[in-house]
Structure 1
Amino acid sequence: MNLNKAFIITIDTEADNQWDYDAPIKTENIKFLPRFQELSEKYGFKPVWLTNYEMAEDPHFVEYMREKQDKGLCEIGMHLHAWNTPPESPLNRSVRERDYLIEYPVDVMEKKIATMTETLEKNFGRAPVSHRSGRWTTNEDYFRLLHKFGYKVDCSVTPHIDWSHKPGSTGKMGNDYSQCPQKPYYIFEDILEVPMTIRPMRTFTCEPSFAKPSVGREIKKFFLGRKQWLRPDCHLQKKPLFKLIDRVSHENQYLMFMLHSSEMMPGGSPSFKDEASIEKLYEVIEAVFARAHSLGYTGTTLREFAEAYSK
């Protein structure tokens, strides 16, 4: 396996519109996931469905994805939303934000990780080894617990991004990953960190867009550089993603694409509110997949990547 030409798809697989603090926990977006899975298969790519509690307990999701997993067409990993993973535990909430797992006492953190790990193993017949934290936040206690439960690979680190101004529900701030490596590294014991594909780039948004940008803001971003993720945003433009793919390909590095499962459903997120925006989203996704495929990238799960990296 050529790890420098690995195309890793990571999907934060969670309830509908979790950006809305008051949104009820519903899993309607499950109905829309086969389209993405099948598009990935068309290009030989294998999504990593980083799955949280409510999705892991949904029988329709389990039935569909377990069959795909067992055929080697995807991987089921763990994504932990602390606010909705048993057991419930009191927090001194002072901010109208979602909980970070690291805001809980370590014994509660351990119980929540145990719940997720046991649920995934029970429902999918395989112990998960891949993980992404909810709201991108980690600490040493978190990694120590992941190691204890047998996780081998994490993808929570977002190079060039500083979350330290983003509070959890108690006011505790997120991580500053702005100086973290762009390449894989062992972050704790034998847990391999495979960072999200993000690069500072100078691009100007000039394509037709679903979300009309401020010209002044775009000029500022051009001169200062924007942090370009390998993920479609509300502007639904291909060129910035193509430039990122081409740059990383020239660096001879893997690509990690990400999306939320709820972004595949009309109205499941703030970014894609109707069927027209979903159709445009899929046009962008397929263009990204085709570009990566044309550059020789091949589908790789996080489990496969970590196993090959350690050899």
Structure 2
Amino acid sequence: MATGNLLEPPTASARARFADDTPRFLLTVDTEEDFDWNQPLSRDSHGIEHVPRLAKFQEFCENEGVVPIYLVDWPIANSDYAAQILTGPVAAGKAEIGVQLHPWVNPPFEEEVNQFNSFSGNLHRRLERGKFTQLRDMIEKRFGTAPLIYRAGRYGVGQNTAEILVNQGIAIDTSVRPLFDYSSAGGPDYRGHPLHPYWVNDEHTLLELPLTTSYWGMLRRQGNLIYPRLWRAPSMRGVLAKLGLLERVPLTPEGVSVEEAIRGIDIALDDGLPMLVFSFHSPSLRPGSTPYVRDDQDLDALYDWWRRIFAYLAQRGVKASSVKDVMASVQR
């Protein structure tokens, strides 16, 4: 059975279609441990102090009519508090649980902790499978549901990831981040991958829902040629954005303004994307845990960002979706 390769861009025939023409969006939450983003990765230097904040965010999403997808890693899967907060909403269909693999904090612990090994797809096939299996099984045990969606931590898929996911019953991957290149740190280069959903394997049992990022500006059609060349002069990226020439806009509240996100939404919809995938990191719900939310004012701004984006999506006729909805509406 051909399971496909997530590192390779798909053929045109692999493009996934949906049963109707209504555009959709997913809200994915990288639900992970707190750690210092400015320090080297460690198996031990992390916490889960932000977990109680998930309760407020879940209530917020329910009030907005949005089903968040919590992509849970090992420290969160082992948190009693996280299970208490999320099990009820998951059982009621008001939230969904997926898998997110951070290999440096996920047993079995056999590899050296370093940048290269932080991309789980770089690990030996047996070790990547072992880590994934332990996490998947723990999530099903703790949250009472078999997860169907996966995101590799640091977007780090590898040659064997698709096969592992298919064999473990995962139906959707959302690790691919088009327009981004992580190869300088040993990770994947996704600049050649499309933004639209596509089937990873010929059997249509593994669907890729890439995270949504768009180039905006007069030079956006040349974005893949120009933007990567500016890594030595990052200030030039800001200059081009201010001049309305070129800007890379991922759909996240972390480092992206509402106005920028709306431009990204408009470009994606104008390009005919049937699915928009939003993301952010759960530690941002606690001030001081990420670079994006430093105080209570920043946290209020994060909630306001989501509130305004949800309103704009409704205005544009974009439907709040979920794993359940995707599975029911995608054509095989």
Q: CA deviation at 1:66?
A: 0.8
Q: Does 1:227 align with 2:245?
A: no
Aligned to 1:246: 266
2:30 aligned partner, one-letter code = D
1:293 aligned counterpart, secondary structure: helix
Aligned to 1:194: 209
Assess, with a 3 A threshold, how the Cα gap between structure 1 residues 51 and 273 changes in structure 2: closer, same or farther. Answer: same
Aligned to 2:322: 301
* CA deviation map 1:76-125 (0-9, x unaligned): 0000000001111033x6x5676221232211111101101100111112
Assess, with a 3 A threshold, how the Cα gap between structure 1 residues 88 and 22 changes in structure 2: closer, same or farther. Answer: closer
Distance 1:31 1:247 in 2: 36
2:258 aligned partner, one-letter code = K
Tell me if the contact between 1:79 and 1:131 (Cα under 8 Å) persists in the aligned partners: yes
Distance 1:233 1:128 in 2: 26
2:267 aligned partner, one-letter code = R
Aligned to 2:309: 288
Tell me if the contact between 2:33 and 2:47 (Cα under 8 Å) persists in the aligned partners: yes
2:134 aligned counterpart, secondary structure: helix
Output aligned runs, 1:1-311, within 5 Å. 2=20, 4-17=22-35, 19=37, 20-21=39-40, 24-91=45-112, 99-165=118-184, 167=185, 173-188=186-201, 189=203, 190-202=205-217, 217-221=237-241, 222=243, 225-234=246-255, 237-252=257-272, 253-310=274-331
Distance 2:136 2:147 in 1: 7
Distance 1:202 1:80 in 2: 35
Greater shift in the superposed pair: 121-130 or 223-232: 223-232
1:111 aligned partner, one-letter code = G
Distance 2:168 2:313 in 1: 34
Over the aligned positions, Cα root-mean-square deviation in angstroms equals: 2.2
Q: CA deviation at 1:34?
A: 2.1
Q: CA deviation at 1:161?
A: 1.3
1:268 aligned counterpart, secondary structure: coil
2:27 aligned counterpart, secondary structure: strand
Tell me if the contact between 2:214 and 2:250 (Cα under 8 Å) persists in the aligned partners: yes
Aligned to 1:170: none
* CA deviation map 1:269-307 (0-9, x unaligned): 012111111111211121111111222222211343134
Distance 2:130 2:65 in 1: 37
Tell me if the contact between 1:3 and 1:305 (Cα under 8 Å) persists in the aligned partners: no
Assess, with a 3 A threshold, how the Cα gap between structure 1 residues 88 and 41 changes in structure 2: closer, same or farther. Answer: same
Tell me if the contact between 1:17 and 1:270 (Cα under 8 Å) persists in the aligned partners: no
2:147 aligned partner, one-letter code = P
When normalised by structure 2's length, the TM-score is: 0.82
Tell me if the contact between 2:111 and 2:117 (Cα under 8 Å) persists in the aligned partners: no
Tell me if the contact between 1:3 and 1:309 (Cα under 8 Å) persists in the aligned partners: no
Q: Work out the percentage of aligned pairs sharing the same amino acid.
A: 25
Assess, with a 3 A threshold, how the Cα gap between structure 1 residues 18 and 48 changes in structure 2: closer, same or farther. Answer: farther
Tell me if the contact between 1:43 and 1:290 (Cα under 8 Å) persists in the aligned partners: no
1:131 aligned counterpart, secondary structure: strand
When normalised by structure 1's length, the TM-score is: 0.87
Assess, with a 3 A threshold, how the Cα gap between structure 1 residues 96 and 215 changes in structure 2: closer, same or farther. Answer: closer
Distance 1:14 1:156 in 2: 15
* CA deviation map 1:120-168 (0-9, x unaligned): 1111121111000010011231111111101000011111111111x2x
Q: CA deviation at 1:308?
A: 2.0
Tell me if the contact between 1:238 and 1:288 (Cα under 8 Å) persists in the aligned partners: yes
Distance 2:116 2:304 in 1: 33
User: 5+ residue gaps in structure 1?
Assistant: 168-172, 204-213
Tell me if the contact between 1:39 and 1:286 (Cα under 8 Å) persists in the aligned partners: no
1:247 aligned partner, one-letter code = I
Distance 1:215 1:138 in 2: 30
